[in-house]
């Protein structure tokens, strides 16, 4: 087994197996910190030699007692990964599509349970990402801050007294922090309240994106909500603002779920049962339909209409049914139709194992 295969073999990261607060609605909480080294140009302007030196310095900084007390880390140079391995890491949210396409000394550093992912030479020299199950944005921040402090002892960050941490993109200047949650809002979509809620979110300085971040579609009623402002606010203010807004969204989603149960219970049971039946017996299934029907089944589980399927199976299938992971399981490249057939078979097998 190669170093990379340890992280690409399984769809479900160890941290995802744990239950978190409000995990019936908030799938995960994430903190990402952008940092750059003072002595080097930003990655987009750096020469091959300069980006190699950045990677070497970061690799050396890993031999830090403080970091070693947090976790054991593995450094994976992107040049040593094949295209399929990169795609699987993107599908597991461990690297960005931008890093997967980077050819100049890009790398990712992963903790054993995959809750910590540190991208090197992406848009910034360092992008420290910490993930927690459920609604644990403050806990994710504490972990990311600890890692950031440990690196700062070893590395000379680009920092300005007035502007804060300097980043490649102006929208990240200041704290360099991006706090986000992945949230499942099927009831707000079904009760047609989602547009009003999303409009209110953007008016308080937060951004709403899809499953794979900026530019991606909100498939399966999954939305990524994050801060937009990094300059002029402290890290604590940014996180407190996001926490407060997400807490309100959770309450709105809970109220919408109760409304569905009280007013249209038969229709909701029919909807989730139909999706469960189709997923259990379909011979062909495209990615978009699979994601939507998995969302229906997850709602059925959370409302206790479906009692024989673990929520973790649905979390796992959201990754396993993506194109990269399907092809890795097959051990070969697949046409779109072949992927659709294997996706349907995989879902059938997983759901039958849960019965």
Predicted pLDDT of residue 216: 47
Q: Is 179 annotated as a binding residue?
A: yes
253 is in an annotated binding site: no
Q: Are 281 and 348 in contact (CB under 8 A)?
A: yes
pLDDT in the model for residue 169? 83
- How far the first Cα of the chain sits from its last, in Å, is 32
What are the domain boundaries of the chain?
Answer: 1-18+28-174, 257-354
- 67 known member of a binding site: no
Instruction: Report the pLDDT value the prediction gives residue 146, as an integer from 0 to 100.
Output: 95
- From residue 32, alpha-carbon distances to 147, 166, 339, 341 in Å are 11, 15, 32, 36
Is 182 annotated in some ligand binding site?
yes
Would you say 111 is a known binding-site residue? Answer: no
State the sign of the Cα–Cα–Cα–Cα dihedral 103, 106, 111, 117: negative
Q: What is the pLDDT of residue 219?
A: 76
Q: How confident is the model at residue 217, as a pLDDT?
A: 56
Q: What is the distance between the alpha carbons of residues 129 and 29, in angstroms, rounded to a whole number? A: 10
- Determine the Cα–Cα distance for residues 260 and 186; give it in Å rounded to an integer: 11
Dist. CA 191–CA 299, nearest whole Å:
14
Is 32 annotated to bind ligand? yes
Is 181 known as a binding-site position? yes
For 346, half-sphere exposure in the C-beta direction (CA atoms, 13 angstrom radius) is 28
* 210 annotated ligand-binding residue: yes
The pLDDT value recorded for residue 149 is: 94
The domain made up of 1-18+28-174 has a fold known as: Creatine Kinase; Chain A, domain 2 (3.30.590)
Is the overall model pTM greater than 0.75, yes or no? yes
Q: Is 293 annotated as a binding residue?
A: no
pLDDT at 215: 46
Residue 211, marked binder: yes
State how far the alpha carbon of 294 is from the alpha carbons of 272, 328, 346, in Å: 9, 21, 13
**54 alpha carbon, distance to own chain's centre:** 25
Tell me the mean pLDDT per 10 residues along the chain, length 355. 81 85 94 95 94 96 87 93 91 91 88 96 96 96 95 92 85 88 95 92 85 58 87 86 95 97 96 96 95 95 91 85 90 93 95 77
pLDDT of residue 1: 52
298 is in an annotated binding site: no
30 annotated as ligand-binding: yes
262 is in an annotated binding site: no
How high is the pLDDT of residue 56? 96
CA distances from 274 to 281, 334, 350 (A): 11, 28, 17
Instruction: Establish whether 5 is an annotated binding residue.
Output: no
pLDDT at residue 229, rounded to an integer: 73
What is the SS3 assignment for 182?
Answer: strand
């Amino acid at each position: 087994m190669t170093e990379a295969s340890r992280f690409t073999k399984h769809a479900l990261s160890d941290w995802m197996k744990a239950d978190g607060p409000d995990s019936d609605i908030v799938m995960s909480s994430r903190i990402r910190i952008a940092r750059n080294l003072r002595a080097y140009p930003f990655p987009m302007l750096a020469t091959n030699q300069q980006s190699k030196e950045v990677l070497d310095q970061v690799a050396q900084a890993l031999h830090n007692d403080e970091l070693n007390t947090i976790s054991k880390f593995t450094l994976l140079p992107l040049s040593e990964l094949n295209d399929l391995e990169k795609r699987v890491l993107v599908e597991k949210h461990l690297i960005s599509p931008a890093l997967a396409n980077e050819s100049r000394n890009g790398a990712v550093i992963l903790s054993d349970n995959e809750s910590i992912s540190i991208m090197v030479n992406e848009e910034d020299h360092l992008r420290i990402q910490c993930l927690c199950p459920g609604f644990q944005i403050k806990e994710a921040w504490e972990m990311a801050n600890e890692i950031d402090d440990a690196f700062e002892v070893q590395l000379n960050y680009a920092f300005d007294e007035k502007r804060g941490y300097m980043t490649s993109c102006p929208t990240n200047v200041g704290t360099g922090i991006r706090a986000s949650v992945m949230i499942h809002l099927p009831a707000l979509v079904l009760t047609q309240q989602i547009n009003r809620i999303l409009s209110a979110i953007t008016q308080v300085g937060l951004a709403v994106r899809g499953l794979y971040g900026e530019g991606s579609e909100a498939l399966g009623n999954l939305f990524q909500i994050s801060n937009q402002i990094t300059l002029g606010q402290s890290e604590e203010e940014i996180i407190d603002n996001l926490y407060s807004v997400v807490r309100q969204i959770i309450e709105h989603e809970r109220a919408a779920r109760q409304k569905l149960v009280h007013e249209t219970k038969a229709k909701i049971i029919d909807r989730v049962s139909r999706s469960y039946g189709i997923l259990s017996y379909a011979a062909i299934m495209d990615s978009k339909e699979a994601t939507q029907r998995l969302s229906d089944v997850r709602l059925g589980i959370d409302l206790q209409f479906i009692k024989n399927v673990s929520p973790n199976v649905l979390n796992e299938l959201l990754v396993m049914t993506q194109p990269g992971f399907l092809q890795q399981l097959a051990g070969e490249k697949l046409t779109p139709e072949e992927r659709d057939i294997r996706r349907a078979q995989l879902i059938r097998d997983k759901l039958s194992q849960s019965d």
